[in-house]
Amino acid sequence: MHRQRPLLEHIKRRWLTNLLVGIGATIASLWILDGDTWINTARPGDTLAYALSYAIAMVNLSFALMGLGLKLLNQELPVVRYLSDASFWMYLWHVPALMFWQCVFMMIEWPWPLEFSLTLFLTALPLVITYDGFVRSTGLGAMLNGRRSPRILLTKP
């Protein structure tokens, strides 16, 4: 998609429209469920209506987030570039880390927002640290992302 700049500009311009359509389709999906946790297949047409509204919601919300990102993140930001470089490493290892922390927090009776936040933080932090220390400037990092030059620490003489 990066090679089709006009298409990206179109997505960027229409982010709000996509967001509103996505929210509307999400509301329609929830209305079709009518408080159930699963689609009621006893009513004819509900399954198809739910599937269509859900698909419309997901596509439009995806394009809305993409467009908003294109609008707000249109300049080079070192933190975003760094996390972008680390993302493949984090993708490869996030499942075992998440499973570990979920097993730990299964034994503890804390409020779910606290457990959720800690799970995210305790999963992401070690992955970023291991990426920085063991992947970024090594052969593994070159294989995952292409060669990166080592960071030069700027010190005053």
Determine if the pTM surpasses 0.85.
no
| pLDDT classification of 154: cutoffs 50, 70, 90 | very low
Read off the pLDDT band of 147 (50, 70, 90). low
What CA–CA distance (Å, rounded) separates 87 from 22? 26
Using the structure block, give the residue that is written with the tokens 């933080």: 121
Helix (H) or strand (E) holding 90: helix 78-106
Question: How far is Cα 147 from Cα 157, in angstroms, rounded to an integer?
Answer: 29
- The pLDDT value given to residue 21: 98
Place of tokens 């009518």: 34
Would you list the domain boundaries of the chain? 5-72, 78-145
Rounded to whole angstroms, how far apart are CA atoms 49 and 56?
11
Helices first, then strands: H and E counts in the chain: 6, 0
pLDDT(150) > 70: no
